[in-house]
Chain A
Amino acid sequence: MAIEIRNVEKTFGAFTALGGVSLDVRSGELLALLGPSGSGKTTLLRIIAGLDHADAGEVSFDGQDTRDRAARDRKVGFVFQHYALFRHMTVFDNVAFGLRVKKKAERPAEMDIRRRVDQLLTMVQLSHLATRYPSQLSGGQRQRVALARALAIEPKVLLLDEPFGALDAKVRKDLRKWLRHLHDDMHITSIFVTHDQEEALELADRVVVMNHGQIIQVGTPAEVYDHPADSFVFDFLGGVNRLNGVIEAGVARLDGKAVRVDGAVGADGPAVIYVRPHQVELGVAPAEGVPEGKWSARVSSLHAAGPVARLELDLAGRALEAQLSRDRLSDLALEVGSWCTVDFRHARVFPAKS
């Protein structure tokens, strides 16, 4: 089901949670709402589900306005951040709940309910725990029960609020992959909220980046990562170095040397050059001087655990983080205190905020 969101506004007292948000969710896609806390992403999700009401604007499902449809009539599966399982019910009864509360005319026979719940529990790989209570399950298992419960009503839209937020790193990674496979099998229009850029980029078909109640950018993970709309998106989508420079006659300069930048350069004046750590190119320092168009920096610390080495560099008094492979590091033979040349493979420049 496609969802159209038009100029939705929501305030809580003096706080503007959503300031006129418009978004089209395509049928069958897996969409991520990404943003820092307080950016309005959960509020938007709750408005789609009918758990909150927009002050203005409209949300329509397949062209039908949803204003007068209560949460229970929307056929929306909602997975809560803290699962919100019914503690006094077994896993089985939790999953069966949505089927058992249906009106008599629509309610499946008890045998069909049984079959459907068993099917769902098999799908989330929890059939062996059907008679357990939620308190006897681990976080990852509870999450999957919550998902099975939401899927039981055969929702047209699946909404997930920080689905992996309360899980430890290993479980989170596994569940992420699993959810992606599940979505590929079922093709339910799904929207999930996250503040974890890695999660959004890895899992979603499209990413919606939000900040201060506004949508900043919408695009595929590659689009938003490679072509961030502004400095906020660039900053939010991963570790970044911010270097103060200037724009002079349409050229970005750092310490007087020109920096090759992607995209628009902008008007002359003070500017901030954004470089991701893995786009910092290091080289062996020559015996004398600095090669044309490069900078010189000193290694101030070095962390080499795992496949990637992280270096902190001192570039004329500025801290600069760089990432490179362990092999490259040993080729360069860098140590703390040694000098190297610095170049930027890709960089973006945005005007400095006054």
Chain B
Amino acid sequence: MTAAASTTATKPARRGWAFLAPTILPGFGTAFGFTLAYLCLIVLIPLGHMALRAADVGWDRFWAITLAPRVLHAFYISFGCALAAALINAVFGLVVAWVLVRYRFPGRRLIDAMVDLPFALPTSVAGIALTAIYAPNGWIGALAKAAGFKIAFTPLGIVIALVFVGMPFIVRTVEPVLQDLDAEVEEAAASLGATRWQTFTKVLLPAILPALITGVALAFARGVGEYGSVIFIAGNIPAVSEIVPLLIVARLEQYDYAGATVIATAMMGVSFLMLLGINFLQRWTRSRHAR
């Protein structure tokens, strides 16, 4: 395969279709072969194998397991909380990025470093820390209890944990775009008579929207896959605050390998569809920019 590809690359340009457009960059064969092998070993074969194992149980059982109320509710919690957290982050992550880019104040570098903390921290640490604060006997949890509601051990707690792990994705994707935005563009809007709010909604927001959507997509994907920080604060009450990854682990612990595989496959399918949707959304916003 290496030999075949390298001859394609060195042959003079032919008319019509070619596997590779003529290029002077060497090493296509090796690099492409490696890419394929790598993706197969790490992504394609394991996931494909899992789908095959899930197919072993047959369609009827597959649907029976997937559509069980407890499983459906777990799906609802997993994707709903991840989406809610991503949207919350879209607003507040944007504010954080804005503050970090636009203002110079003492302690800016400290806050800048703090943004990355959720990246670096093992998520179980985050889970314990958040639970300690938001549990009914914790600082904030006690306040909530006095006000008549619970944070930890409810979907609200899950959302808080996912906001925590997802925040850096928004801040770090939006920040460079905000930095690139010319202050002159805002001045131009002002000199044309736009108010601050009009400048924000009509000039700034559209410019950062593609980056913001990318950030939301990343935070959402991370939220769907999150396990460590959620299991502590969620309380994992079936049909109340149980997420899909936890359900899979629970099935495995009960030696129900078929059930675990089926749920995992369904999860994979939904995630794939979500990613597809987000990609289309990104293409749509980008096409409106026509860079």
Contact = CB atoms under 8 A, between A and B. Distances in A.
A53 interface: no
A71 interface: yes
B207 interface: yes
B279 interface: no
Given A87-B207, A135-B291, A72 B182 contact: no
Contact of B193 (A80, A89, A136, A153): A153
Interface stretch (B17-25, B141-149, B194-202, B253-261): B194-202
A97 B189 contact: yes
Contact of A72 (B185, B191, B203): B191
Interface in B168-205: 182, 184-185, 187-195, 198, 202-203
Interface residues of A, number: 31
Q: Which secondary structure dominates chain A's binding surface?
A: loop
A170 interface: no
A285 to B, nearest CB: 58
Contact of A97 (B195, B202, B288): B202
Contacts of A76: 191
B207 A84 contact: no
Given A84-B184, A84-B185, A78 B191 contact: yes
Contact of A82 (B182, B193, B195, B206): B182
B198 to A, nearest CB: 5
B193 A88 contact: no
Q: Which secondary structure dominates chain B's binding surface?
A: helix
Contacts of A51: 187, 190-191
Contacts, number: 76
B192 A84 contact: no
B207 A88 contact: yes
A82 B184 contact: yes
B289 A88 contact: yes
A125 B187 CA distance: 26
Contacts of B188: 78, 80, 84-86, 149
B4 interface: no
A158 to B, nearest CB: 11
B207 A78 contact: no
Contacts of A153: 192-193
Interface string A132-166: 01011000000000000110110000000000000
Contacts of A97: 189, 192, 194, 202
Contact of A133 (B182, B192, B206, B289): B289
B187 A98 contact: no
B290 interface: yes
Nearest to A73: B193
Nearest to B184: A84
Interface string A97-136: 1100110000000000000000000000000000001011
Interface residues of B, number: 21
Contacts of A259: none
Contacts of A85: 185, 188
A149 B192 contact: yes
B194 A101 contact: yes
A189 to B, nearest CB: 15
Contact of B198 (A70, A84, A101): A101
B185 A135 contact: no
Interface string B127-148: 0000000000000000000000
Nearest to B198: A101
A97 B185 CA distance: 12
A145 to B, nearest CB: 11
B192 A101 contact: yes
A271 interface: no
A77 interface: yes
A71 B187 contact: yes
A72 B289 contact: no
B185 A86 contact: yes
A49 B191 CA distance: 7
A86 B203 contact: yes
Contact of A135 (B191, B194, B290): B290
Contacts of B187: 51, 71, 78, 80, 84
Contacts of B207: 86-88
Given A84-B185, A86-B185, A133 B191 contact: no
Nearest to B288: A88
Given A82-B182, A101-B202, A87 B194 contact: no
Contacts of B193: 72-73, 75, 98, 101-102, 153
B59 to A, nearest CB: 47
Given A72-B192, A84-B188, A133-B289, 17 more contacts: A50-B191, A51-B191, A72-B191, A72-B193, A75-B193, A77-B191, A78-B188, A80-B184, A84-B185, A87-B289, A88-B289, A97-B192, A97-B202, A101-B193, A101-B194, A101-B198, A150-B192
A-B pairs with the 5 shortest C-beta distances?
A98-B192, A84-B184, A84-B188, A78-B191, A101-B194
Interface of A: 49-51, 70-78, 80, 82, 84-89, 97-98, 101-102, 133, 135-136, 149-150, 152-153
14 contacts: A49-B191, A71-B190, A72-B194, A75-B193, A78-B188, A78-B191, A80-B187, A84-B188, A86-B189, A87-B207, A88-B288, A101-B193, A101-B198, A150-B192
